[in-house]
Amino acid sequence: MRITLIGSGNVATHLAAAFKNAGHTIAQVWSHTYQHAALLAYHVKATAAEHLGDLDSSADIFVIAVKDDAIPGVAGQLNAGNQLVVHTSGSTAMDVLAGVSTRTGVIYPLQTISKLREIDFRQVPVAVEGSTPDVARELHLLASGISGNVLELSSEKRLSLHVAAVFACNFTNHLYQLSKTILDKYGLDFDLIRPLIAETAEKVSTVDPASVQTGPAVRNDRLTMDKHLHFLEKEPELQDLYRRLSQNIINFHNKQQG
Amino acid sequence: MRITLIGSGNVATHLAAAFKNAGHTIAQVWSHTYQHAALLAYHVKATAAEHLGDLDSSADIFVIAVKDDAIPGVAGQLNAGNQLVVHTSGSTAMDVLAGVSTRTGVIYPLQTISKLREIDFRQVPVAVEGSTPDVARELHLLASGISGNVLELSSEKRLSLHVAAVFACNFTNHLYQLSKTILDKYGLDFDLIRPLIAETAEKVSTVDPASVQTGPAVRNDRLTMDKHLHFLEKEPELQDLYRRLSQNIINFHNKQQG
């Protein structure tokens, strides 16, 4: 397929490389910043376009990988004809593209994508949605070329997946950082915590997280929790998070037993 | 060394096996529940004791691995003479053992330990503390037999390490579970999130978490956060956590830039 990419961020960059590796042609790249488009285009042997209106409507598919709030504006400027137009957002309903083309859809790769980090796209779950069964089939096929784990999801289910990912990934990464902040303050190395982080993630690769929950909250060990809250006295934001997360653990496990 | 273990939970079980593997003798095991002591004693070829007062004071070291709030009571009943007495708690100061023996200390293995799961103790950081420099040296040596990563820490630094571990491990595991709860509600498989969990943990094995933070909060993407908060409307506890964790991410990264 001839694919035109709209966007030059993390998702656009990784998708372009994955499509290219799967044997597709990246026709054109557009970005809000022309230099970024030119750089990505150079890497995938495409041409960069300066204006959205300049994009060649002969591309088989337009893949919009820009910030969520920029999707409607960008989509509205495309001369897509009857070509396939998709976005790549977890939290944006497919119908934001209604009217842009007769054939629209979504390709949402569920991964924490950093531009400079290699990822094995075959392992990345990709959720697709199509405005018609034919479009869904076509997107399923396209996505299967880059990922071994493609599934069709409605906009609502895709949103639930994105929210779940924020909890499991974005929030956990921030907790890693809070942990590092505490260690820094006491002159301790983050390396001390790294084996624990690896083991915590590894444990849930085969079992439910609730079944391997450890720590003072799940034991309802008030003595230890009080020591920790006292320790965090001078960090009210951390103390507040500690209190709320612990209470949430207690409530969750009480409900399970009840 | 002849080691007597007080306790039969996760930490006692793994420590007993690790000491045994390192060539030490497990002399006796005591537990609040005699059957548990007998079972652990059987596995490490020790004898089980029914009463704390029955423990043979000829052991070189008494290792107390019971719940934090049970440590003072248990320690008070030992006839330890001048033998070494240590506890294994992250959040309990060493001086809780003052008066129990002239030689006291702490051996704190920093890992999320589940009884039924094999762990490679060589990779587990172990923090030690001794009531005298000689005791600290002795415990450092003993711990080096089971772990490749031993460090001497004061009670306060050990507490900071424990609090950091609660953020990086216990709280993150609970966030995995909340993520699963969301997916369950929409009939989606937790397997969809597992690659993301693995990648999120793997990323911070070499870099600082803050440098690889992704998601709507760090981008200050209000549109997406509002969609997610709206999605969580019927789950007020989840909605509240989402709001607070997102705000904490925003504040943290604003402070870094400011």
Average pLDDT over residues B224-239: 96
Which of B112, B151, B234 has the most A C-beta neighbours within 10 Å, making it the best mutation to test the interface with A? B112
Domains B2-153 and B159-257 share a fold: no
**Residue A120's pLDDT band (cuts 50, 70, 90):** confident
What percent of chain B is predicted at pLDDT more than 90? 84
pLDDT at B162: 96
**B151 phi-psi bin (left φ>0, alpha ψ -120 to 50, beta other):** beta
Q: B224: which chain A residues are within 8 Å (Cβ-Cβ)?
A: 68, 91
**Token pair recorded at residue A15:** 């998708």
The answer to whether the CB of B12 falls within 8 A of the CB of B33 is: no
With b for 16 or more beta-carbon neighbours within 10 A and e for fewer, the B142-161 pattern comes to bbeebbebbbbbebebbbbb
pLDDT at B256: 83
CB neighbour list of residue B157: distance below 8 Å, 6 or more residues apart: A186, A187, A188, B127
Average pLDDT over residues A123-131: 94
Question: By C-alpha distance, which of A90, A238, A213, A89 is closest to B180?
Answer: A213
Look at A214 and B163 and tell me if their CB atoms are within 8 Å. Answer: no
Look at A125 and B195 and tell me if their CB atoms are within 8 Å. Answer: yes
Contact with chain B for residue A38, Cβ under 8 A: no
Cβ neighbour number for residue A172 with a 10 Å cutoff: 30
pLDDT at B117: 64
Q: In angstroms, what CA-CA distances link B109 with A9, A68, B34, B105, B122?
A: 42, 45, 25, 13, 11
Contact with chain A for residue B52, Cβ under 8 A: no
Strands B25-30 and B47-49, bridge-based pairing: parallel
What percent of chain A is predicted at pLDDT more than 90? 84
Q: What's chain B's average pLDDT?
A: 93
Query: What CATH architecture is B159-257?
Result: Orthogonal Bundle (1.10)
pLDDT in tens, B170-224: 999 999 999 999 999 999 999 999 999 999 999 999 999 999 999 999 989 899 9
Residue A258 above 90 pLDDT? no
pLDDT at A53: 86
The answer to whether the CB of B204 falls within 8 A of the CB of A106 is: no
Interface of A with B in 161-200 (CB under 8 A): 161-180, 182-183, 185-188, 190, 192-200
pLDDT at B211: 93
pLDDT at B192: 94
Q: Rounded CA gap, B245 and A248, in Å? A: 13
Residue A115 above 60 pLDDT? no
Residue A112 above 70 pLDDT? no
What percent of chain B is predicted at pLDDT more than 70? 97
Average pLDDT over residues B20-45: 96
β-pair partners for B28: B47
Residue pointed to by tokens 């079992």: A207
Average pLDDT over residues B123-127: 92
The answer to whether the CB of A80 falls within 8 A of the CB of A100 is: yes
Q: Phi first, then psi: what are they for A55, rounded to 5°?
A: -65, 135
**Token pair recorded at residue B207:** 């870099």
**Residue B113's pLDDT band (cuts 50, 70, 90):** low
**Token pair recorded at residue A128:** 């697709």
DSSP tag of B157? H
**Residue B56's pLDDT band (cuts 50, 70, 90):** confident
Average pLDDT over residues A186-209: 94
pLDDT at A61: 96
Average pLDDT over residues A131-150: 96
Domain residue ranges in chain A: 2-153, 159-257
Helices and strands, number each (H, E), in chain B: 9, 8
Residue A116 above 70 pLDDT? no
Residue A182 above 80 pLDDT? yes
Average pLDDT over residues A104-122: 79
Which of B68, B128, B204, B211 has the most A C-beta neighbours within 10 Å, making it the best mutation to test the interface with A? B204
**Token pair recorded at residue B58:** 């000829």
Q: If you measure CA to CA, which chain B residue comes closest to A247?
A: B237
β-pair partners for A5: A29, A63
Q: How many CB pairs under 8 A join A and B?
A: 321
**Residue A218's pLDDT band (cuts 50, 70, 90):** very high
Contact with chain A for residue B70, Cβ under 8 A: no
Query: What CATH architecture is B2-153?
Result: 3-Layer(aba) Sandwich (3.40)
Residue A10 above 90 pLDDT? no
Residue A32 above 80 pLDDT? yes
**Token pair recorded at residue A103:** 């054939």
